């Protein structure tokens, strides 16, 4: 087999076989196929697309390139949730203990963040004492005992994806639906869960700016999962503004606690119930999605979700008393209010630039080497559709430096205030099965 022939076949719009895709992925990973040929292939795939079978084969070839996590020692159907991008997305912190509280085993592998705010591991590390670096033995034992555990990056998962994604990044081939779908799904499948709920974000702050492309990405990922024996569905949710009010690590932990108590922001609460009920249903802990939702509502109102969160924190060495007393979480030295200058209705909050404002404060990493400040961030007081009067607080900045003119500037840039009435945006746009 010669790479040049496979490039030409893809260029001419033909479907490649599993053997041919394996040859490309293995060859590129072990260095026998050079960057220039792989670049050419990726560009051909970008323009010609890939069939669902090719996309599934590409995914499994990337899974086979490295380690895979074996979760078979955990009882029950393991369900994972993945959100594509998003800013200040607190759903994982809420969902892990919430679905565990109704009996779904949660074995969560999470990363650290780059840009915007921290990743899920960073957020949990805002809890004093919390240890994300745990052994795989403790990880498995803890899921069996407490139903939920979170661990940082382990093993050498999908090295092919790392290498191909880095090449796509510099060859203008990131934004291809089959390439994105196989990249994301390869990591989920290597992480070992039996079923997957995808939260595909759409809107100004997301990878996918319009509903049709978000649906196409969701469908491509759902097809991969179902083609390789992992029960998969997707929810398309709105990212025209950040979810919830909190952006920043400790602030998001506090927001997650409020939500587990039933007192969180409406949009975050609703999205967690939507995603959570699909997780519970796929895990076969309810006979319908609506029964799953009632179980989650009961876990919140009875306090069982909060109890599970405490047991989980304690099992990972964290101080569980932060749940009853969130003032024990890291707090910033200064609070600075950003006030509305004009009257009207909020019509736009550019999630990207709000995320960047939080990063400038220190809530996210500018480079892989940067240290995160877990205490800083932003609390939004006004969301799209809310009425504002001059002098109303739009955002509170939690900062460890006194002067934050640069941050205030980018907050004003992200907010648009319209004079006429603006509707509250739809949160869940579609479900893809």
Can you give the binding site for Ca ion, defined by CB under 5 A? 88, 90, 244, 246
Binding part of the chain for ligand URA, among 33-41, 102-110, 176-184, 209-217 by CB under 6 A, reads 176-184
186 is a site residue for ligand URA (CB under 6 A):
no
Q: Name beta bridge partners: 246.
A: 379
183 binds, among Ca ion, ligand URA, none (CB under 5 to 8 A by kind): ligand URA
Q: Which is nearer to Ca ion, 86 or 192 (CB)?
A: 86
- Stretch of residues binding ligand URA (CB under 6 A), selected from 91-99, 132-140, 180-188, 353-361: 180-188
| 183 among known catalytic residues | yes
Say which residue the tokens 């799209």 belong to.
384
Q: CA 13, 15, 20, 21 torsion: positive or negative?
A: positive
183 binds ligand URA (CB under 6 A): yes
Catalytic residue list contains 82: yes
* 261 has catalytic annotation: no
46 binds ligand URA (CB under 6 A): no
User: What CA–CA distance (Å, rounded) separates 381 from 244?
Assistant: 10
183 versus 277: smaller Cβ distance to ligand URA = 183
**What DSSP string runs through 147-194?**
SEEEE---S-B-HHHHHHHHHHHTTT-S--HHHHHHHHHHHHHHTT-S
Distance CA(6)–CA(29), nearest Å, equals 17
* Residue number with CB closer to ligand URA (129 or 172): 172
- Rounded Cα distance between 343 and 308, Å, is 44
Tell me which residues in 247-306 interact with ligand URA (CB under 6 A). none
Which residue, 169 or 387, has its beta carbon nearer to ligand URA?
169
Specify the 3-state DSSP secondary structure of 350: coil
Q: Which does 211 bind (CB under 5 to 8 A by kind): ligand URA, Ca ion, none?
A: none
Q: Between the CA of residue 176 and those of 112, 163, 223, 359, what are the distances in Å?
A: 25, 16, 16, 28
Under rule CB under 6 A, residue 180 binds ligand URA: yes
Measured CA to CA, the distance from residue 244 to residue 233 in angstroms comes to 23
Task: Give the active site residues.
Answer: 82, 161, 168, 183, 187
Contacting positions for ligand URA (CB under 6 A): 165, 174, 179-180, 183-184
């Amino acid at each position: 087999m010669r790479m040049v022939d496979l490039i030409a076949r893809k260029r001419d719009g033909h479907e490649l076989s599993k053997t041919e895709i394996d040859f490309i992925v293995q060859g590129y990973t072990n260095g026998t196929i050079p960057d220039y040929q792989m670049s050419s292939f990726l560009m051909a795939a970008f323009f010609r697309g890939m069939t669902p079978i090719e996309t599934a084969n590409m995914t499994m070839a990337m899974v086979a390139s490295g380690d895979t996590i074996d979760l078979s020692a955990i009882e029950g159907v393991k369900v994972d949730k993945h959100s594509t991008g998003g800013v200040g997305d607190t759903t994982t912190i809420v969902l892990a203990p919430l679905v565990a509280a109704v009996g779904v085993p949660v074995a969560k592998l999470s990363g650290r963040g780059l840009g915007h705010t921290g990743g899920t591991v960073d957020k949990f590390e805002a809890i004093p004492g919390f240890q994300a670096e745990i052994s795989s033995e403790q990880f498995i034992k803890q899921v069996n005992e407490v139903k939920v555990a979170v661990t940082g990056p382990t093993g050498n998962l999908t090295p092919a994806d790392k290498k191909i994604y880095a090449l796509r990044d510099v060859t203008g081939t990131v934004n291809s639906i089959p390439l994105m779908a196989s990249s994301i799904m390869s990591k989920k499948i290597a992480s070992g869960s039996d079923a997957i709920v995808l939260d595909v974000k759409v809107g100004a702050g997301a990878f996918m700016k319009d509903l049709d492309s978000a649906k196409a990405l969701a469908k491509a990922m759902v097809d991969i999962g179902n083609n390789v024996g992992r029960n998969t569905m997707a929810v398309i949710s709105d990212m025209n503004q950040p979810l919830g009010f909190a952006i920043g690590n400790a602030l998001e932990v506090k927001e997650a606690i409020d939500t587990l108590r039933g007192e969180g922001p409406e949009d975050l609460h609703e999205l967690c119930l939507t995603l959570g009920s699909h997780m519970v249903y796929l895990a076969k802990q309810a006979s319908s999605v609506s029964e799953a939702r009632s179980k989650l509502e009961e876990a919140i109102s009875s306090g069982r979700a909060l109890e599970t969160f405490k047991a989980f924190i304690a099992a990972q060495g964290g101080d569980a008393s932060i749940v009853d007393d969130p003032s024990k979480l890291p707090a910033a030295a200064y609070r600075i209010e950003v006030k509305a200058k004009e009257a009207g209705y909020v019509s736009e909050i550019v999630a990207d630039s709000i995320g960047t404002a939080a990063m400038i404060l220190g809530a996210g990493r500018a480079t892989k080497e940067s240290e995160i400040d877990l205490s800083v961030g932003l609390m939004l007081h006004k969301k799209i559709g809310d009425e504002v009067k001059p002098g109303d607080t739009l955002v509170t900045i939690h900062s460890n430096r006194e002067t934050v003119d640069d941050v205030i500037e980018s907050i004003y840039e992200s907010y648009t205030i319209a004079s006429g009435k603006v509707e509250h945006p739809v949160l869940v746009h579609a479900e893809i099965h």
